[in-house]
Amino acid sequence: MIRFLLNNNEITLEEINPNISLLEYLREELYLTGTKEGCASGDCGACTVVTSKLGVNKSSLQYEAVNACIVPLGSLHGRQIITVEHLQRGESLHNCQQAMVDNHGSQCGFCTPGFVMSLFSYLKNNEKPEREKILEALSGNLCRCTGYKSIINAAFSMYQDYISDQFDASRSATIKKLERIKNEDTPSFLSAKNQQYLMPRDIRELCKLLHEHPEARLVAGGTDLSLEITQGLKKFETLIDILNVPQMNSVYENNGHIIIGAAVNLTDAKATLVNLQPNLTELIERFGSLQIRNRGTLGGNIANASPVADMPPVLIALNANITLMKMDSERTIPLEEFYTGYKKTQLMPQEFIKDIQIPMSTRHLSLRAYKVSKRIDDDISSLCAAISIVREDGLIKEARIAYGGMAEVPKRAEICEKSMLGKTWSEVTIEDAMARIPQDFSPISDFRATAGYRLSVARNLLKRYFLEENGLDNEKFRVTHYAF
């Protein structure tokens, strides 16, 4: 049985297709058709709804805009779901709806409920409108007809005359209800037609369930896995959701390392990663969209083993380890040894990633990460680079240069790195190292980029690192959002 709040109404479900998405449930079971379906793959934002969960200090609610088309319904246990239908206040529109009307933010209207929900989430999470943050909040919503200027104007104007809304009024009641669900001592699951969705509440239970169901697939945020259902038309017999496993949801320091639980999503991991390395801000903000980062986890990004995933090169450059766990054993390995081939990893049957460990000493590194993609927002990388070069007395002492999109796995440029060691920090050294990139990689051509383009960009990113480290005004290079 799972239990969640639909607006303020408590819903209990047990027998329902465990492979169903939140969007299918809303539209096809509840006929809440205000939420639209566009791409069914997390790309367009038409299906955006807002979920809220208990905040870290438990007396607050954390609002998250999510793509309902790729959120497994089972993962909503213990959360509140707010859709566009719930915003209206009696006969009046909510501020974020009225602002869209006042600013002519809608033409055909198909994208509008999704935009409204992204605006609503922004309003609940931010005391004032700030342009850069608004652009980030809207980066996962596509509009083909209106143009974004009027929608951005709506984001500013929804703050006018806004004091509080019905969600503020019912906040403490909502918190109490969510706390009660959280404290219930009943197992959370969905099942129907020989399929099941299981939600263990701690790591021992997770190990046990994996042992009992060796065929099961793990699901964290579901932003990769759900595409196997919506695009690949797969049906999973057993899904085991890890979002409620506390040991995989925390961030803490231990033994000179920052430990990030594998089920921590990118939004929640951002502060820790940026605190460690401020240069990671842009890369993280360009990881999918806010809706994707609100769901997608660090562990999922690693385990999915995509050669173009953005976080593995960064974590490899930071010399991160991962802890792998199964029933009665635990082992910690360097992330760079995790990948064994295209979409292949060291994970053994029933084993899972428990956490990611980043040495705190990497705080002192000059790490820079670059994402090259066809679109600035919400796009998968053509290639991605994370570069860290340590210098001492003008000589290169250590180099860790990792690329995604250059091989069948995220991988270090070892020949290139070695060529620099002990040499002077100079353009000659860097250009010599750049020339060795083709010895490290033989990338493929695909619909994202040709092999030649990948090699050439990989070389040039190394030069860019050199120039930026030497204080060249990087305004010239920095990727900025287009001005609307």
Q: Hey, how many other C-beta atoms are within 10 angstroms of the C-beta on 37?
A: 18
Q: In the complex, what is the shortest distance from the CB of residue 132 to ligand FES, in angstroms, rounded to a whole number? A: 22
The window from 7-15, 116-124, 216-224, 230-238 that contacts ligand FAD (CB under 6 A) reads 216-224
CA separation for the pair 366, 465 (Å, rounded): 10
Runs of H (alpha helix) within 374-444: 414-420, 427-435, 437-440
Q: Give the amino acid at 139.
A: S
Stretch that binds ligand FAD, among 119-127, 221-229, 330-338, 408-416 (CB under 6 A): 221-229
The least distance separating ligand FES from the CB of residue 235, rounded to whole angstroms, comes to 20
**Residue 262 engages ligand FAD in binding (rule: CB under 6 A):** yes
CB of residue 90 to ligand FAD, shortest distance in Å: 36
- Backbone phi, then psi, for 258, in 5-degree steps? -95, 125
Tell whether residue 288 is a contact of ligand FAD (CB under 6 A): yes
Decide which of ligand FES, ligand FAD, none touches 37; Cβ closer than 5 to 8 Å per partner kind: ligand FES
Task: Evaluate the CA torsion angle 98, 99, 102, 107 in order and state its sign.
Answer: negative
Give the largest Cα separation in the chain, rounded: 72
Of 18, 42, 313, 405, which one interacts with ligand FES (CB under 6 A)? 42
The residue (of 138 and 320) whose beta carbon lies closer to ligand FES is 138
Q: Which residues contact 332 (CB under 8 A, 6 or more apart)?
A: 321, 322, 323, 324, 357
Q: Which is nearer to ligand FES, 46 or 99 (CB)?
A: 46
- Measured distance CA(286)–CA(282) in Å, rounded: 6
Distance between CA atoms of residues 399 and 389, nearest Å: 4
Strand, coil or helix: 391: strand
Tokens for 319, please give them: 């010399």
- 210 contact choice in ligand FAD, ligand FES, none (CB below 5 to 8 Å, kind-dependent): none
DSSP reduced 3-state for 473? coil
Nearer to ligand FAD, 170 or 272 (CB): 272
Out of 110, 156, 159, 162, the only residue in the binding site for ligand FES (CB under 6 A) is 110
The reply on whether position 109 binds ligand FES by CB under 6 A is yes
Footprint (CB under 6 A) of ligand FES, residues 360-419 = none
- Is position 45 an interface residue for ligand FES (rule: CB under 6 A)? yes
Of the candidates 6, 19, 37, 99, which one interacts with ligand FES according to CB under 6 A? Answer: 37
Query: Which CB atom, from 291 or from 388, has the smaller least distance to ligand FES?
Result: 291
Cα within 13 Å of Cα(425), Cβ side: 17
Which position among 1, 11, 39, 276 is part of the footprint of ligand FES (CB under 6 A)? 39
Which letter does DSSP use for residue 240 in this model? E
Site size with ligand FAD, rule: CB under 6 A: 31
Among 43, 351, 355, 440, binds ligand FES (CB under 6 A): 43
- Interface residue with ligand FAD, options 3, 5, 42, 285 (CB under 6 A): 42
CA distances 17 to 47, 180, 416, 452, Å, are: 20, 25, 51, 46
Per-residue HEC secondary structure of 266-320 comes to HHHHHHHHHHHCHHHHHHHHCCCCHHHHCCCEHHHHHHCCCCCCCHHHHHHHCCC
Whole-number Å distance between alpha carbons of 291 and 45: 8
At 263, the amino acid letter reads A
| x-or-dash string of contact with ligand FAD, 304-343, rule CB under 6 A | x----xx---------------------------------
Q: Does 264 bind ligand FAD (CB under 6 A)?
A: no
Rounded Cα distance between 106 and 101, Å, is 7
Between 75 and 114, how does the x/- string for binding to ligand FAD read (CB under 6 A)? ----------------------------------------
Query: 142: part of which helix (H) or strand (E)?
Result: none
- Inter-axis angle of helices 112-125 and 131-138, to 10 degrees? 140
**Closest separation in Å from C-beta 107 to ligand FES:** 4
CB of 101 or CB of 348, closer to ligand FES: 101
| The binder of ligand FAD chosen from 123, 292, 315, 358 (CB under 6 A) | 292
Q: How far is the CB of 442 from ligand FAD (least distance, A)?
A: 22
Instruction: Please name the residue that has the structure tokens 């990611």.
Output: 356
Residue 144 in the binding site for ligand FES (CB under 6 A): yes
The residue ranges that bind ligand FAD (CB under 6 A) are 41-43, 217-225, 242, 262, 287-288, 292, 295-297, 299-301, 303-304, 309-310, 352-353, 378, 380
Q: Would you tell me which residues interact with ligand FES (CB under 6 A)?
A: 37-40, 42-47, 67, 69, 106-112, 143-146
